[in-house]
Structure 1
Amino acid sequence: MIHQLTLSDVLAEHARSRPGVTAVVDGELRLTYPELDARVTRLAGALAARGVTAGERVLWLGRNDHAVLELLLASSRLGAILCPANWRQSAEELSFVLSDLAPKVVVWEESEVAAPLSGEDWILAGAGYEAFLAGGSPDAVPDGFADGADDADDADDTAPVLALYTAAFDGRPNAALLSSAALVAHSTSLLVVRQMEPGFTFLNSGPLFHVGTMMFCLATLQIGGTNVFTPAFDAEEVCRLVDAEKVTQAFLFGQMIDAVVKANEGGKYDLTSLRFVSHSAEWDAMTSVDDSPWCRSKMGGYGQTEVAGMLTFLGLAPGASGFAGRPSPLVQVRILAPDGDEVPAGEVGEICARGKSLFSGYFNRPELNEAKSRGGWHHTGDLGRREADGTITFIGPRLRMIKSGNENIYPAEVERVLKTHPAVADAAVIGVPDERWRQAVKAVVVLRDGADASAEELVEHVRGGLASYKKPRQVDFVAAIPKKGFTPDYDALDAAHGGGGYPGT
């Protein structure tokens, strides 16, 4: 099919047209594009031998590794779906992902998971993964599978290839499905706004289960650049890798940048290859302040996992009224009222979108998919406003969300775990301003008659059921939770318990 372009096709073309370019650096491993292509072919064959066919899911359960990109590209060849799971989650959360996604194969990192959690086909990362890959056929994937260049008639770039869990508004997360076509479209928009050029080198220093890191990883692949992998953020190691690999861009923000500045006091490392956004006098002196629209605008815009990263870019609207900027050239955005009509400029409504980079729906959520795509538009769940100059302002989530550091925390998720404590009759969660993290989580709790529980006990209870960053830092005990219908009255709770600092405010 001459109009198809899967992620596997992108790799196959680079293997032909960029034979001497380094595609991947991970520790001592260095792969050119032809070497990466050969490994992905073997990996696809090995996965196929384990029963991974079109539509099946493969789960990565570990920190950043070149294997995540290889598994994604191999899944593209098979028509399968890769999900990099959030390794910071609790055992209970990971059990839910395993049950929900039902992966055919799990590749897991022993340092992050004590032992396999169920009976899927589990492959240990590192030496186990390398042995598994080496056992695959070096030839094209067997007939019946799409393998990019060789079986183009079988390829379907609109089929989901990547699943990222997101949006735990109802207490449980959902896996957003992104196709090759959506990812290629988003990468194309991003590399234009970021002004990526040949030789672009990206340090995957943020988690690959987060769309913010993944979108740059794939845009770097799209332009034929070099992806450098480090297991997790470590300021000293980031400095070393930027110096050694002449990194152009890394996944860094606020506190991470400050940590890098501290680690490089005295100029031990040369960070001038890093073309980045201006941050502080010390940071700007160490790096090269970049003049691309992306960096000039402080990496501004509006996005979410369901749009493959960014829906709008402030870099497309210099001097604009709306601080989310203008939409990507490959999407349409409308601000809609609850009845589906577009609201006039200056009025607040729900940000809705359609276009090339949008997701394919959530895995195994037919009712949610129907609701989110009603009227032929993806309903983001976020409020926005179209300004008089046509640009977009992001107001905030329609359902309450807490932003702590760079992590999204949904009250319903924390509330669900709090309510499983035997002493808790009811609970609500709000965000309170925090000088360091922007917001911290506060729980407002009603205890059962005759029951007793301390704030420390409830915090530890949440820590046992969710990732540690989601736990409350404060607990207020009350006689009753104010309600609007069946849901907590969050405005009243904010007023009574010091809530505030939410995204968009």
Structure 2
Amino acid sequence: MSVHRLTLGDVLGEHRRGRPLGTAAVDGDVRLTYPELDARVDRLAAALAADGVGAGDRVLWLGRNSFRVLELLLAAGRLGAIFCPANWRQTADELAHVLDDLTPSVVVWEESEAVEKARGQVSLDARWVRSGEEYEAYLPGSATAPSIEVSPDAPVLALYTAAFDGRPNAALLSHSALIAHSMSLLHVRQMEDGFAFLACGPLFHVGTMMFTLATFQIGGKLVFTPAYEPAEVCRLIEAERCTQAFLFGPMIDGLVEANSGGAHDLSSLRFVSHSPAWDAMITVDDSPWCASGMGGYGQTEVGGMLTFLGLGMGGAGQAGRPSPLVHVRILDPAGEEVAPGEVGEICARGQSVFSGYWNRPELNEAKAADGWHHTGDLGRREPDGTLTFIGPRLRMIKSANENIYPAEVERALKTHPAVADAAVIGVPDERFGQSPKAVVVLADGASATAEEIIEHVRGEIASYKKPREVEFAAAIPKRGHTPDYDALDEAHGGGAYPGT
């Protein structure tokens, strides 16, 4: 066993010894100290091992936010297995794809119509455990995890992302990558002893997960709530004296409205400035993370953030500088570094970079060409050394805090019997930054209304991805075999893409 080993399980074991009275997790009536969390993780790991879960096997969570997400991640980690919290808002078809693609050995799930339908669509030899009483009964009364030496480089977390070809891929992040990213985030956010994070954003999203893990890394308190609900979020911030929460513009506006009468004391929240009303409710934080507006460039494949604006405030580049544990190059298609001021692909390597996608050997080979992770995004190194994010090499729409890939929405549109061809662009949206708009060509002799098409897409993929507008056209302009998105933008009002 290497003296340099450090896994998530090791971090939990150290907190059990060093923080015997510290609160690890709060979820409704559940309150766990670090020793209590460690004991439950051991029991859960023993139960998973009894079901045959071992190194490289997958454990899937299908449900909303819960302290059980943290338990499952840590228990899988102690076995060398991989844990995946899937997007519970997906349709049955999308969830069936996850089940078929990931082939988990154990699925822990919350009851929903979509999950029930997805379960019936696949042939999967897995143990299904319903969250709640059945989950609690699944844990043995007293047990310890099998004694297994787990490599820090072993993948432990899978997050589905990157649906550029119409189907998402599961990015695999190792113990070492997650710990490295947490240490960088701890530095820029200036997280200190007593830090408490409210996980009110989705835990299948790297933005919530990265703060969850950074708080765990420092031995802070994690507060879980099933989903964002403004009044409940205000109550929890006050009751648990939360330092940070997963929030962005529209969510913050919802909290201001919910707490307009000042019913809850939100002053423990050290957060970014947003509006006079918001700033009066909280403590405006002066850490580099908050003072810079929580800016930078990142993606799931690098654990969250690759660069931080907080490390380059006042610089020319709006993405700041890289995390201290990675290095970045801007490369041309031949793999050569371009000069400052020139645009190329953002490529990286270092401690927090992912281990590749699950079951995607050809994609992994392309992504890791020449020993660099090719992000698929364009950027520019400014003369002062800071970085600017230009935009995806493949078109992406950013609506609120969600990435929407045109190929995925187009695939759903084309399953409508009346649609002969379709393309999706992003149009400026005053509230959400962008919203998806479909340009549709109907089949000869077919008819459909915009409302019918939107409702059809809602049934095929998650509702937030559906187009908010549909325009009908005689043809989709093409550049080779793909839509000419520049021409579509010009003709149909596209714009406001990330980085512009």
What TM-score comes out, normalization by structure 1 length? 0.96
Structure 1 gaps of 5+ residues are 147-153
Letter in 2 for 1:348: V
Corresponding position: 1:230 with 2:225: yes
Distance in 2, matches of 1:114 and 1:388, equals 51
Corresponding position: 1:132 with 2:127: no
Among candidates 178, 181, 200, match of residue 183 of structure 1: 178
Structure 2 partner of 1:480: 475
Corresponding position: 1:158 with 2:153: yes
Distance in 2, matches of 1:309 and 1:112, equals 31
Superposed CA offset, 1:197-255 (max 9, x none): 11000000100000000000000000010000000001100110000000000001101
Letter in 2 for 1:96: H
Corresponding position: 1:169 with 2:170: no
Are the counterparts in 2 of residues 46 and 137 from structure 1 also a CA contact under 8 Å? no
Q: How far is the alpha carbon of 1:263 from its aligned partner?
A: 0.8
Structure 2 gaps of 5+ residues are none
Among candidates 440, 445, 448, match of residue 453 of structure 1: 448
- Structure 2 SS opposite 1:31: strand
Q: How far is the alpha carbon of 1:345 from its aligned partner?
A: 0.2
Q: How far is the alpha carbon of 1:114 from its aligned partner?
A: 5.3
Structure 1 partner of 2:49: 48
Structure 2 partner of 1:142: 146
Superposed CA offset, 1:281-334 (max 9, x none): 111111001111111101010000000000000111121110100000000000
Distance in 2, matches of 1:326 and 1:102, equals 38
Q: How far is the alpha carbon of 1:136 from its aligned partner?
A: 6.2
Distance in 2, matches of 1:267 and 1:235, equals 13
Letter in 1 for 2:191: M
Structure 2 partner of 1:241: 236
Distance in 1, matches of 2:30 and 2:225, equals 12
Distance in 1, matches of 2:458 and 2:260, equals 35
Letter in 2 for 1:371: A
Structure 1 partner of 2:108: 107
Structure 2 partner of 1:334: 329
Corresponding position: 1:268 with 2:263: yes
Distance in 2, matches of 1:501 and 1:340, equals 29
Letter in 2 for 1:438: G
Which moves more between the two structures, 124-133 or 304-313? 124-133
- Structure 1 SS opposite 2:222: strand
Distance in 2, matches of 1:445 and 1:281, equals 43
What TM-score comes out, normalization by structure 2 length? 0.97
Distance in 1, matches of 2:114 and 2:19, equals 37
Distance in 2, matches of 1:334 and 1:112, equals 46
Number of residue pairs aligned between Structure 1 and Structure 2: 494
Closer, same or farther in 2 for the Cα pair 1:131/1:443, shift >3 Å?
Answer: same
Are the counterparts in 2 of residues 45 and 137 from structure 1 also a CA contact under 8 Å? no
Letter in 1 for 2:212: C
Are the counterparts in 1 of residues 91 and 114 from structure 2 also a CA contact under 8 Å? no
Distance in 1, matches of 2:32 and 2:280, equals 32
How many percent of aligned residue pairs carry the same amino acid? 73
Structure 1 partner of 2:353: 358
Among candidates 399, 402, 417, match of residue 397 of structure 2: 402
Q: How far is the alpha carbon of 1:267 from its aligned partner?
A: 1.1
Q: How far is the alpha carbon of 1:142 from its aligned partner?
A: 2.8
Structure 2 partner of 1:210: 205
Q: How far is the alpha carbon of 1:425 from its aligned partner?
A: 1.2
- Structure 2 SS opposite 1:209: coil
Q: How far is the alpha carbon of 1:56 from its aligned partner?
A: 0.4
Structure 2 partner of 1:411: 406
Distance in 2, matches of 1:7 and 1:142, equals 16
Letter in 2 for 1:185: A
Structure 2 partner of 1:151: none
Letter in 2 for 1:138: A
Are the counterparts in 2 of residues 14 and 224 from structure 1 also a CA contact under 8 Å? yes
Structure 1 partner of 2:71: 70
Corresponding position: 1:381 with 2:376: yes
Are the counterparts in 1 of residues 160 and 171 from structure 2 also a CA contact under 8 Å? yes
Are the counterparts in 2 of residues 249 and 274 from structure 1 also a CA contact under 8 Å? yes
Letter in 1 for 2:3: I
Q: How far is the alpha carbon of 1:101 from its aligned partner?
A: 0.3
Distance in 1, matches of 2:141 and 2:204, equals 26
- Structure 2 SS opposite 1:311: strand
Letter in 1 for 2:437: K
Structure 2 partner of 1:121: 127
Structure 1 partner of 2:38: 37
Q: How far is the alpha carbon of 1:137 from its aligned partner?
A: 4.6
- Structure 2 SS opposite 1:3: coil
Which moves more between the two structures, 447-456 or 41-50? 447-456
Superposed CA offset, 1:43-93 (max 9, x none): 000001111111000000000000000000001100000000001100000
Structure 1 partner of 2:7: 6
Distance in 2, matches of 1:416 and 1:263, equals 38
Are the counterparts in 1 of residues 95 and 115 from structure 2 also a CA contact under 8 Å? no
Distance in 1, matches of 2:227 and 2:113, equals 12
Are the counterparts in 2 of residues 43 and 136 from structure 1 also a CA contact under 8 Å? no
Aligned CA-pair RMSD: 1.0
Are the counterparts in 1 of residues 79 and 146 from structure 2 also a CA contact under 8 Å? no
